[in-house]
Chain A
């Protein structure tokens, strides 16, 4: 089935140790999003790609970066994770980011920072 896949589902890292989360999609959608969701809070958009066009949210910390080497894959890099970065990270896609179309979410990667 076409879907959005995130690996790993759970990631443990040490304070300050770089970590990369990955997302892949078989939907062939143009837009890929990364959200951060802390416990009992709303998903918060970090950035999105429209094809290769990168769009960073104004309040996304510099510690967070992203790469999209091709249509199917997108990576979230956290250069120096702090304790406050522990959260669920959700990847989502949409076909063209227009109109009423739906965003499709992956299952998320839960990041724990020790």
Chain B
């Protein structure tokens, strides 16, 4: 069966510090991978998605970046965090083609920038 791992679960970082969140998927090949952010009381905002190794699409311009160094690994990074980067970050995957299937989410990372 397929599983998705995302870590860490919680993170408190000072403003201006770097960020690296990692997500890995097991039990499937060539998945579509996604990074979302969810602010309190808000819907999910798509940040990045990837359809293959090294292929990253950015949905929202900001100081975050994403990379996919391996087929089932997706990394969210920042060189310098802002206060506004605080939120709940979710990694998700879906099968290819994903037109009639749902997305499966990791446990999420609660990031607080102080």
Asked if A pairs with B, the answer is no
